Amino acid sequence: MTVTDDPTTQLPTPHGPFVEDDREAHSFRVHRSTMTSPEIHAMELERVFAHSWLYVGHESEIRKKGDYVRRPVGGRQVFMVRGRSGQVNVFHNTCTHRGAMVCRAERGNAKIFSCFYHAWSFNTDGELVGIPDRQAYGDDLDFGKLGLRPAAKVDSYRGFVFLSYDPDIVPLVDYLAGATEYLDLVVDAVEDAEIISGTNEYAINANWKLLAENSIDGYHAVSTHDTYFKYLVALGTDLAGGVQGTAKALGNGHAVLEYTAPWGRPVAKWEPLFGEGAREEIGRLRAELVAKHGEERASRMTDVNRNLLIYPNLVINDIMAVTVRTFMPVSADRMEITAWELAPSQEQPQLRQRRLDSFLTFLGPGGFATPDDIEALESCQQGFHSGGVEWNDISRGMARTPEANDEEQMRAFWRRWNEQMIGEAR
């Protein structure tokens, strides 16, 4: 198939080409059909989401035996539960009898999950433990073969639990590659990290890959979030130095945007927004990190922000607060987003309040950043359907060492996506 720049040319079929990557010419283009095609969306569920490690949740969400959370992961309903011996289990949320979901609530604590349809019952290790009118099945019924089905692979790193539907996928730590360095920075800066109860949940009428790009895009910050920068200036924050940093590919599609920024961090970097009463307390917290991790590592934890993308759809924004965010494709032009806040489990109330305020003020659904980003992504999606232009250009920074407002991190995502989409087809 040949694709030209003729505006009358139809978008390519799901066989590609999807990405044109010419490093010698410093050119990187992505075809817009990747954002609009229902066929490509269906292929992604099979070739990307079925063959990657996907974030399920955090171990702190199920601290006690029997604690569980239910959520969709990669287009499939699953639930995560702390088993009888304390292990973390992740099961497909479907009864082995006739298919109904056995975990019906979003979260809770249970010893038994009973299917409401025909009342088959399973324990927290997935074992079938009860069938009404057992005698109707005769003596040959094998309970051991009728337990809940676990995800093909389940593993965790520093409390972050992942699953894969691919039984042959590489070990999680190998998959995470260079992302482990940045996960370590996040976790080491938070004493006994826990996910705070409660979530931000919303939807965007745009393709999920647009949010993967946006989450690690330093180029849009000044123009798109102008209101937030004006707000900081009004509160006395000095923005003269701007945002300085680097973008880096971390392997397997993961990438990070790491940068120093003039705004503060509510735990260990004071700014006028937090008030004079917080200056001494924040200084003490910073000193504790220095004593524990040394000046260099503590400075990286407190003075440097990072937007970490773990391919394909987990973002950890270690900025004003530590936000953990996933985005699940619903269709080619709609996604659902869930965001949680990570914090020290024994955090003092006033620190917790400041952290949550920072979490909501910038990245909350009604905050400074998220409405701006939603408008931008939905505008892109509408623009794609306008026609006349076939390709997105993601070449910025190819001719130099990548900077914070370049696009190397997006190219890392797209190269891995393209490998999976085209490689699996061959």
pLDDT tens digits for range 208-256: 999 999 999 887 776 777 677 677 677 666 666 666 788 899 999 999 9
From edge to edge, which strands make up the β-sheet containing 121-123?
112-114, 121-123, 128-130
- What per-residue confidence (pLDDT) applies to 310? 98
Q: What is the mean pLDDT of residues 185-194?
A: 90
334 versus 345: the higher-pLDDT residue is 334
Q: What is the mean pLDDT of residues 280-293?
A: 90
Is the pLDDT at 4 greater than 50? The verdict is no
- CA-only gyration radius of the chain, Å: 23
Cα dihedral 5, 11, 16, 19 sign: positive
Q: By C-alpha distance, which of 41, 60, 38, 12 is closest to 324?
A: 60
- What per-residue confidence (pLDDT) applies to 135? 86
Supply the pTM of this predicted model.
0.91
Where does the pLDDT of residue 191 fall: very low under 50, low under 70, confident under 90, or very high at 90 and above? Answer: confident
| Residues 46-89: tens digit of each pLDDT | 999 999 999 999 999 999 999 999 999 999 999 999 999 999 99
Q: What is the mean pLDDT of residues 275-281?
A: 83
- What per-residue confidence (pLDDT) applies to 241? 60
Percent above pLDDT 70 for the chain: 91
Q: What is the mean pLDDT of residues 274-282?
A: 82
- What per-residue confidence (pLDDT) applies to 7? 39
- What per-residue confidence (pLDDT) applies to 60? 97
Q: Do domains 61-151 and 177-386 have the same CATH topology?
A: no
Q: At 216, which helix (H) or strand (E)?
A: none
CA distance 176 to 254: 8
CA distance 57 to 80: 8
Helices 408-423 and 208-215: crossing angle in degrees, nearest 10, is: 150
Where does the pLDDT of residue 1 fall: very low under 50, low under 70, confident under 90, or very high at 90 and above? Answer: very low
- What per-residue confidence (pLDDT) applies to 401? 86
316 versus 134: the higher-pLDDT residue is 316
Q: What is the mean pLDDT of residues 377-403?
A: 94
Q: For the chain, what are the domain ranges?
A: 61-151, 177-386
Where do the H-state alpha helices sit in 241-392?
279-293, 295-303, 349-363, 370-384
Q: What is the mean pLDDT of residues 365-384?
A: 91
User: Among 3.40.50.2300, 3.30.70.60, 2.102.10.10, 2.40.40.20, what is the CATH number of 61-151?
Assistant: 2.102.10.10
What is the secondary structure of 135-155 as a DSSP string? GGG-TT--GGGSSPPBPSEEE
CATH no., domain 177-386: 3.90.380.10
> Within the chain, what is the greatest distance between any pair of CA atoms?
79
Percent above pLDDT 90 for the chain: 65
Where does the pLDDT of residue 405 fall: very low under 50, low under 70, confident under 90, or very high at 90 and above? Answer: confident
3-state helix, strand, coil in the chain (%, to 5): 35, 25, 40
Cα dihedral 178, 376, 320, 327 sign: negative
Helices (H) and strands (E) in the chain, counts: 12, 21
- What per-residue confidence (pLDDT) applies to 209? 98
Q: What is the mean pLDDT of residues 372-376?
A: 92
Measured CA to CA in angstroms, residue 376 lies from 31, 314, 370, 383 at distances of 19, 20, 10, 10
